[in-house]
Each structure stands twice: as C-alpha cells, then as structure tokens.
C-alpha cells in the first residue's frame, strides 16, 4: 500500500475518517486493523516465550517482541505478489505476511501442522504462498553470494525475467528493492 492509497489491504475501502484528513494517509479503520494485527503478533510472541520456558519449543527461539510495527507496516506497504526475507527473528514477518499464529507456534514445537511441517523451527519460517520466502539463521544468507543470486537478488532477477514488478524486501534493515 502506498502513502496515497487509502483503501484497505484487501482492496476494500476504509471508513471515512482518516489520519491527516485530506493528506491521503491511511484511514482510521485500517489503522485499527493494523493495530489489532500488531497486538495479535505480540500475543503470539508472548505465547512462544511461555512455550519456550515450559520446555515445549525444541532448540531455541528468537523473539521479536516490540518489533511488530516493522513487520505489519512493511507488509501493509507491499503487494500480495511481493516477497519478504527476514533474519532469524522472523515470526512477526511470517504472521504479517499471512501465516497464522497456530502454524507458527506449531512449527516452534516441531509439530507436523507447523508452517514448515516441523522442518524449520523458529529460525526458518517460510510461507511461499504468501510471499514470505524465509527467515534465515545465517546473517546475510539472503544476499548475493560470489557464485550466483540466491535469496533476494534471485527473486528480483526472476521477477524481472517474468516482466513483473514485484518487490523483494528485507524490512528489518529498512532496505527494499523494486524490480
């Protein structure tokens, strides 16, 4: 969603009250929806923390409590066909791109109903159907390597070859590219 688009994320219209009336900013209805999404993500991160303390999370977990606005705001600005890559603290990005709290928590607990069917754990959440192409435990794994374009550059190159204008974003760094 761009700064001048006052429609809701699903293409519908928001209520008539908007912040900065006349300035083209987001309507009050969408602001409330974004806040509710941030609150849901915060509650899910709290549940993940509680599950970890109870010994129900296999391995470790990397929470991003307090960073909900980054994920929700970045996802609200992106289109459904855009791609997101995250660092190992990616629970909030996965949920902001459409993964359910249940899928994410099940993945953390190594359940077959998890987002990656118990193969990813906390640090590798992926939901390709929603444009969430992974969170990576290796810092910089989404960047170009000397022998080819993995991750973000690879998605940008693929979008270009298909004449699409999809964005590839790594919102935690504040950088994104549109190809």
Domain ranges of the chain: 28-178
Contact (Cβ atoms closer than 8 angstroms) between residue 170 and residue 85 = yes
Quick: pLDDT tens for 12-52.
444 444 443 444 577 899 999 999 999 999 999 999 999 99
Does pTM surpass 0.85?
A: no
179 CB neighbour count, 10 Å cutoff: 15
**pLDDT tens digits along 76-103:** 988 888 888 887 888 999 999 999 999 9
Task: Specify the CATH architecture of the domain 28-178.
Answer: 3-Layer(aba) Sandwich (3.40)
Computed over every residue of the chain, the mean pLDDT equals 76
């Amino acid at each position: 969603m761009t700064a001048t688009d006052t429609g809701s994320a699903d293409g519908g219209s928001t209520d008539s009250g908007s912040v900065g009336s006349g300035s083209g900013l987001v309507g009050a209805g969408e602001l409330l929806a974004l806040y509710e999404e941030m609150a849901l993500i915060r509650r899910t991160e709290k549940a993940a923390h509680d599950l970890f303390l109870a010994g129900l999370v296999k391995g470790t977990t990397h929470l991003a409590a307090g960073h909900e606005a980054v994920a929700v705001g970045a996802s609200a600005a992106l289109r459904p066909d855009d791609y997101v890559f995250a660092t190992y603290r990616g629970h909030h990005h996965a949920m902001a791109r459409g993964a359910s709290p249940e899928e994410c928590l099940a993945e953390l607990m190594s359940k077959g109903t998890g987002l990656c069917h118990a193969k990813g754990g906390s640090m590798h959440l992926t939901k390709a159907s929603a444009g969430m192409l992974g969170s990576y435990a290796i810092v910089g794994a989404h960047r170009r390597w000397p022998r080819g374009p993995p991750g973000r550059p690879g998605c940008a190159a693929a979008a270009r070859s298909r004449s699409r204008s999809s964005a590839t974003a790594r919102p935690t760094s504040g950088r994104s590219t549109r190809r």
